[in-house]
A and B are shown apart, each in its own frame.
Chain A
């Protein structure tokens, strides 16, 4: 009996050992299984392209993609260790940093132009002309999002409204689409690609964007702190794949739009074709050299990204989402960009704009 139990235990231990990532890493022929968190957003195109072009394989990575509707559930899933690397807006990125030290390792794209307040066709012009009409209104927002930040700042800075003069209603983005389409609300926070969908289906119009109020809204590339500690090389490779996609997109703008259309269709997002080039234009991405500059400490000792993240944290404190701003030096890091910069092979890969 004891021998039988021993045999079962030994085979179980053997099974666990062979299934562990460490074992996978040791077997050089086997691709590293990387868990990537993404959203139906323009920046997820990089990983879609990488699959199509075989860049994951080229660097010895086998990705498992998890799709999240927005940053909040994504960061919540990160708390239980459900993914290793990914992308999300800067609000969920800072929330993750405050709660469990989530690292910001790169900038996925810049987004002030696509985080908007939209109003129905009938009301858009009236609200823009006389913002006092917004007083007392209930405005749907996805709380703890970059859209939440853009909407609060637009209402304050562009329309001169105080927080107690309107009411935010927390809804998910599909719910926001539903309530605007059904006419239950005539003003709401909306981000792209939903802006294009609502513009074409009900004629809704953008009345303010994050760009109008000069907000440094970005989506960030993220890594779980424990994973980054154990596998810095994999994190650098993940980042290099993203940067290669940025180079490729710049060199092949027409094909990029085709791929973006295919990506959105594959996740059930139907954007009218004419809006796809607008989407590319409104959400610029950055190459290795540009990202290095963003993460480089300035004259005051802090980088641009660190300053933006501090701004995000201030908003989150004012919205009572966090009590204390996390230490920006601990979670905004250019370390993995520098690893690429200092590795000639990886740098050549990241800066290659060809197939």
Chain B
């Protein structure tokens, strides 16, 4: 009963904040004229932009076309980051030699912002999907590697020693002890990484795109269309939140013992 009450309070407070925000939006862009429509859209502008995107479309596709294109890019970039970052993190976390060799290179490359790679990306991959996936991968890779290293290093050595005493092979130790024990930290990295993918989407779509939410934002900026920019930003926000929820589901499925 207390849980239900707490939930309804949470919904009430959340809903109340949304209503206050909507009223402030209406007042600031409407009657009070604090923000001009070029700087921030009115509610009518946002609705107009949404109906244009849902109907005839904008920037070469309808809203669904843009959303699908962005989801495809984010999923590709994230998948490649998981496929490359997790093994590298495990290797660096469990092998001092590998860590000694790779860490300095990793630390040198890590601070460079993904957007700074764009000129080189165009030269290496051209303007196709590979270039965009590479930019997303750059943003998603580091959090996965760092968290996987931490997870793999912080395993109780007694567990590993016990397994070795009982004759467990290196393969068994990796798959039955290291990975399951490191999994919570690995998932922390995955969550950060997935959000980074959405954050860098606009930058990736600077690389000659035809569709996508970032593409809408780039063209709408050129068109000075604040309504379109707002709708595209809102979509990125909603999709980011939904993908985090989906990842939480996967996390629960992979680690059912976790609360």
Structural contact, B210 and A167, CB atoms closer than 8 A: yes
Contact of B38 with A169 in the complex, beta carbons under 8 Å: no
| CA of A321 to CA of B39, assembled, Å | 17
Q: Are A175 and B122 in contact (CB under 8 A)?
A: yes
- Enumerate chain A residues within 8 angstroms of B96, measured Cβ to Cβ: none
Q: Once bound together, how far apart are the Cα atoms of A139 and B167, in whole Å? A: 64
Tell whether A231 is near chain B: CB-to-CB under 8 Å. Answer: no
B224 contacts the other chain (CB 8 A): yes
Contact A80 B39 (CB under 8 A): yes
Given the interface pairs A170-B208, A178-B122, A179-B127, the reply to whether A79 lies near B223 with Cβ below 8 Å is no
Question: Does any Cβ of A come within 8 Å of B126's Cβ?
Answer: yes
Is B219 positioned at the interface, with any CB of A under 8 Å from its CB?
yes
Within 8 A of A (CB), among B31-49: 36, 38-39
**Band of interface residues on B:** 10 to 19
- When A169-B210, A175-B208 are in contact, do A143 and B219 touch as well, CB less than 8 Å? yes
Q: When the two chains form the complex, which single residue of A73, A144, A175 contacts B223, counting CB atoms closer than 8 Å? A: A144
Q: Is A266 an interface residue (CB 8 A)?
A: no
Let me know if B36 and A170 touch, CB within 8 A.
no
Chain B residues with Cβ under 8 A from A96's Cβ?
A: 224
Answer whether A75 and B224 are a contact pair too, CB < 8 Å, given A80-B39, A143-B219: yes
Instruction: Give the interface residue-count category, chain A.
Output: 20 to 34
Q: Which residues of B contact A99 (CB under 8 A)?
A: 38, 224
Q: How far is the CA of A99 from the CA of B39 in the complex (A)?
A: 10
Asked if A320 and B58 make an inter-chain contact with CB atoms under 8 angstroms apart, the answer reads yes
Chain B residues within 8 Å of A179, by CB: 122, 126-127, 208
Which residue, of B36, B38, B219, B221, has the highest number of chain A Cβ atoms within 10 A? B38
CA distance A213 to B16 in the complex (A): 58
Give complex CA distance A339, B123 in Å: 52
* Closest B residue, CB atoms, query A322: B223
Alpha-carbon distance between A143 and B222 when the two chains are bound, in angstroms: 8
Residues of A within 8 A of B (CB): 72-73, 75-76, 79-80, 95-96, 99-100, 140, 143-144, 167, 169-171, 175, 178-179, 182, 184, 320-322
A sample of 14 cross-chain residue pairs with beta-carbon separation below 8 angstroms, ordered by A number, consists of A75-B224, A79-B36, A79-B224, A95-B223, A95-B224, A143-B222, A144-B222, A169-B127, A170-B219, A170-B222, A175-B208, A179-B122, A182-B123, A184-B127
Please name 5 further chain A to chain B contacts, defined as beta carbons within 8 Å, in addition to the given A76-B224, A95-B223, A170-B218, sorted by A numbering.
A75-B224, A99-B224, A169-B127, A170-B222, A179-B126
